[in-house]
Structure 1
Amino acid sequence: MTDTSAAGNPTPGQQPANPPSLRVLGQYVKDLSFENPGHPPVQTQPNIDLGIDVGASPHADGNGLFEVSLKLSAKASAGDTVLFISELDYAGLFQLQNVPEGQVEAMLLIECPRLLFPFARRIIAEITREGGFPPLLIDPVDFVALYQSQYRRAAERAQNGNGGAS
């Protein structure tokens, strides 16, 4: 008797011989900027404009290595006065092994930034506090929804680009 089904897949409850794995080999600040153009006393809650971007690229060494970059930007203003602008590019070096090709992109753009986010969030909170403001505590991010939104926009751009072709 064998431990695989007719299709060659492991039977239910049995782990595959080489399961997919994700390793964090390093994480680091690539770029950090904090501008404090004016610090007037703020009597009201400032308006905060937050931006999040995720990118991934293969590392030059190959071997399943990828650099994933999480970019956070925050601009606080009260009326027409800019209180602060903070930008962080926080990256990690990840190694993927035995990940099916169709799942690599989702792993890089969902799971990797999910692992980086708490560290990037802490850096933004500390830099705003050091700039003389209350710490900016960014709410948790749904990277699945962000990925799906980016995927839909890319599909729409591709469709619009091909819409006039016959």
Structure 2
Amino acid sequence: MAEEGDVLTNLDNQPAPNGADTQPVAGIVSQYVKDLSVENPKAPESFQWTSQPEMDVQFNIASRKVNEELSEVELKITATAKTKEGVAYIVDLAFCGLVGMRNMPDDQKHAFTYAEAPRILFPFARRVIADAVRDAGFTPLLLDPIDFNGLYVQQLRAKQAQDAAAAGAAPAAGDTPPSGDEG
């Protein structure tokens, strides 16, 4: 047992907590590659092409509820490199994260799901894309960072404007969507 004045204490003698779990909590529980496809349709000829490829990168975020406290957030990325000679490579990636959220209002859950979780997952998905392109025999594709929070706010404002136009009213000047940075 700890002596009086000791830094260590016997936790059995502490008052029992009320057991209430009321603090908001959100975080990434796990992350994984759900699907990865790499196509190198013109190899080995494509390795001799000298023209600079035109890159087309498509990006999408999806979410599905697993249970009351757990959702799967999916970053879907498709990168296609085309030259005048043809398609050099196509990489399709579905990179997912299991996101746990508890004791949070719905607007904060939405912001975490579509802005913060993708921000956390993106560097790992970016590495998978770079490695896949390198393993296909090309210079690794390093995707530029993405401002997920900015995109989230932009899309919320666009939806608010669309809803207001459909209802025949203009959005109020001071209306701003939740940014996910509140807390």
**TM-score, normalised by the number of residues in structure 2:** 0.71
Whole-angstrom distance in 1 between the partners of 2:49 and 2:88: 9
5 Å-filtered alignment, 1:116-135, equals: 116-135=121-140
Matched residue count: 145
State the shift of 1:146 in Å: 2.2
5 Å-filtered alignment, 1:32-51, equals: 32-38=36-42, 39-51=46-58
Which of 32, 57, 63 pairs up with 1:56? 63
**Unpaired stretches in structure 1, ≥5 consecutive residues:** 1-16
Q: For 1:127, give the aligned amino acid.
A: A
**Unpaired stretches in structure 2, ≥5 consecutive residues:** 1-20, 169-183
Given that 2:27 and 2:101 are in contact with CA atoms closer than 8 Å, whether structure 1 keeps it comes out as: yes
CA RMSD of aligned residues (A): 2.1
Alignment-derived partner of residue 5 in structure 2 = none
State the shift of 1:51 in Å: 1.0
State the shift of 1:44 in Å: 3.4
Note if 1:25 corresponds to 2:34: no
Which of 146, 149, 171 pairs up with 1:144? 149
State the shift of 1:159 in Å: 6.0
Whole-angstrom distance in 2 between the partners of 1:160 and 1:42: 50
SS at match of 2:145: coil
Distance 1:156 1:93, change over 3 A: same
Cα displacement string for residues 101-126 of structure 1 (whole angstroms, at most 9, x for unaligned residues): 22111110011111111111110000
Q: For 1:35, give the aligned amino acid.
A: E
Q: For 2:109, give the aligned amino acid.
A: V
Bigger Rg over Cα: 2
Q: For 1:31, give the aligned amino acid.
A: D
State the shift of 1:160 in Å: 7.0
Alignment-derived partner of residue 96 in structure 2 = 91
State the shift of 1:58 in Å: 1.0
